Amino acid sequence: MDKFVIEGDRQLTGRARVSGSKNAALPIMAAVLAADGPLQLSAVPDLADVHSLLRLLETLGVHAERPAENQLDLVVETTQPHVADYDLVRRMRASICVLGPLLARRGRACVSLPGGCNIGHRPIDLHLKGLAALGADIRVERGYVIAQATRLRGTSLFLGGPYGSTVTGTCNVMTAATLAEGRTVIEAAACEPEVVDLGNCLRQLGAKIEGLGTPRIEIDGVDRLGTAQHRVIPDRIETATLMIAAAITGGHIEITPVRPDHLVAVCEVLERTGVRIERSTGDDGLPALVATAPAALVATTLTALPYPGIPTDVQAQLMALLCRAEGISVVTDKVFPDRFLHAAELVRLGARIVREGPTAVIHGVPRLSGANVMASDLRASAALVLAGLAAEGTTTVRRIYHLDRGYQRLDEKLNRLGGQVTRSDDRPGPAPPHRAGDPRKHARRLATNG
C-alpha cells in the first residue's frame, strides 16, 4: 500500500496533460461483451480500475491487447462464461457495467452484487428495474444478480430514482437495449458526457441510438453489433482537479486536451471564487483551459447535482479549495448526501468545517498546516492531496490506492508542475517491543494498593 508525502506551500505552474475519462472507459470496455467484432480503443487511462475491469473481462472470455500506451484492443473469444465473480466485482463497483451487455448478448448473466462503499448507500435497484422492463427474468440469490432472457424486448421505461438519474444504470440499460427486439425509450436517462461517449461508441458498433445527452434516449434494437474504433473523451474530473490545483496553490496551469463544454458548471463555480479561467489551444493544437489563481479566494455556495450540474466527483476537491477561501462557504451534495468523509480529514489539516446532513459549512482559514491524513475514497484522496499541496509543512496521505483507482500517475503530473509529492511504501513496520516493567516494582505496587 502506498502513501504520498507532500511538501506543501508551493505554487503549481505549467502545462498538464489530462488522461482519458475513467468513467467513460469502463462501460465502453464492458460493451465489447455485446459486440461480435473487435473494439479498438484509444485514450484509455492506465489506472487500477481499468486493470480490474480487464481482469474481469478476461474471465468472461475477452482477449485484450495493449498495442501502445493508452490503447486497448478487445475482442470476445468465447461467449460461454457468464459469471462475474465476487472476488473481482468487489474491487470495483463499476464492474456492474458487464450486466447489461452480458445479458443482452449471451442471454444470461450472473454478476456479484458490488456491496457497500465509503461514499454512501449505492443500490443497483434502478439497473435491475430497467433490465426487468426489457423482459429479463431477474433474481438476487447468495449475493449474485442472476438475469436471464432469450431475447430482450424494447419498451418505454423510467430510470429516475430518489437522487436523480443513474449513470452506470443508464449505461447498462442502454447497452442491453441495443440488442433488444424493437424500440426502447429510456425516460430520466443520465445526461453525463460519459453516457454520451458510450452511446457514440455503441453507434459505431452499429447500434441505433437517438437523444444522447438528453433525459430521453431512444434505441431501435439491432440483431448484432460489429466492430468499432473509438477515442475515449478527456477526463473532466481530472481536468477539474488540476484547475483546483492551480487555484489552491496560487498557481497557473494550462490543461489539455479538454472538453470545455463538459465543464461549464465547474468553471462557473471556480470563477465565483475568483479563479480566472480562459479557453486556449495547447501546444498540440488541442483545446485547452487555463486556470489562474486570484490573489485571494472568495467563499461561495455550491450544490453537487447530476449533469450538467457540479459533479459530485468534484465536491471533495472544491471543498478543499473553499477551506482556503475568505468567508463562509456552503457545500451540499444531492447525488451522494453522505459523501463527506474527507471533511474530518481536512479538519486535521486545519480546516474549519461543520457538517449538517447533506451539507457542510466551511469557515475559510488563512492557512492549512501539514499533518497525517487518511484517504477514504477516490475523490476524497484527491481533495487531501490538493489540501496538502497548499498546506504549510509536510502532509502524509495514506491509502493512496484509492487515488490510483482513478488518476493516472497524478503524483508525476503534479511534480512536473512544481509540486513535491513523493510516493513510498506504507507497509506498517513491526510494532515496537512491549517493555515489561520491573517485576520487583510491580510487586511493591500490588502490596501498597492492597
Q: Least distance (Å) from ligand UD1 to the CB of residue 263?
A: 14
Q: 3-class DSSP state for residue 123?
A: coil
Report d(CA 363, CA 342) in Å as an integer.
16
Query: Which parts of 235-377 fold into alpha helices (H)?
Result: 236-248, 264-272, 315-322, 341-348
Q: Least distance (Å) from ligand UD1 to the CB of residue 127?
A: 5
Q: Least distance (Å) from ligand UD1 to the CB of residue 212?
A: 16
Q: Least distance (Å) from ligand UD1 to the CB of residue 216?
A: 17
Is 117 known to be catalytic? yes
Query: Which parts of 33-186 fold into alpha helices (H)?
Result: 48-59, 86-89, 99-106, 125-133, 167-177
| CB nearer to ligand UD1: pick between 158 and 163 | 163
Burial bucket for residue 59 (CB in 10 Å: 0-12, 13-18, 19+) = middle
Question: Are 230 and 249 within 8 A, CB to CB?
Answer: no
**Placement of cell 478527456 in the chain:** 234
Measuring CA to CA, which residue among 113, 131, 133 is closest to residue 122?
A: 113
| CB nearer to ligand UD1: pick between 127 and 236 | 127
Element (H, E) at 111: strand 108-112
| CB nearer to ligand UD1: pick between 26 and 373 | 26
Element (H, E) at 205: none
CB-CB neighbours of 242 under 10 Å: 28
| CB nearer to ligand UD1: pick between 300 and 315 | 315
Report d(CA 16, CA 289) in Å as an integer.
10
Report d(CA 283, CA 442) in Å as an integer.
74
Among residues 110, 117, 191, 323, the one annotated as catalytic is 117
Burial bucket for residue 121 (CB in 10 Å: 0-12, 13-18, 19+) = exposed
| CB nearer to ligand UD1: pick between 12 and 382 | 382
User: What pairs with residue 422 in β-bridges?
Assistant: 5
| CB nearer to ligand UD1: pick between 50 and 349 | 50
Q: Least distance (Å) from ligand UD1 to the CB of residue 128?
A: 7
Report d(CA 69, CA 259) in Å as an integer.
22
The residues binding ligand UD1 (CB under 6 A) are 23, 26, 93-94, 121-127, 161-163, 166-169, 194, 311-313, 335-336
Q: Least distance (Å) from ligand UD1 to the CB of residue 11?
A: 30
Q: Least distance (Å) from ligand UD1 to the CB of residue 109?
A: 16
| CB nearer to ligand UD1: pick between 305 and 347 | 305
Measuring CA to CA, which residue among 266, 401, 281 is closest to residue 321?
A: 266
Beta sheet of 252-256, edge-to-edge order:
13-17, 252-256, 287-292, 276-281
Question: Are 369 and 349 within 8 A, CB to CB?
Answer: yes
**Placement of cell 443513474 in the chain:** 166
Residues identified as active-site: 117
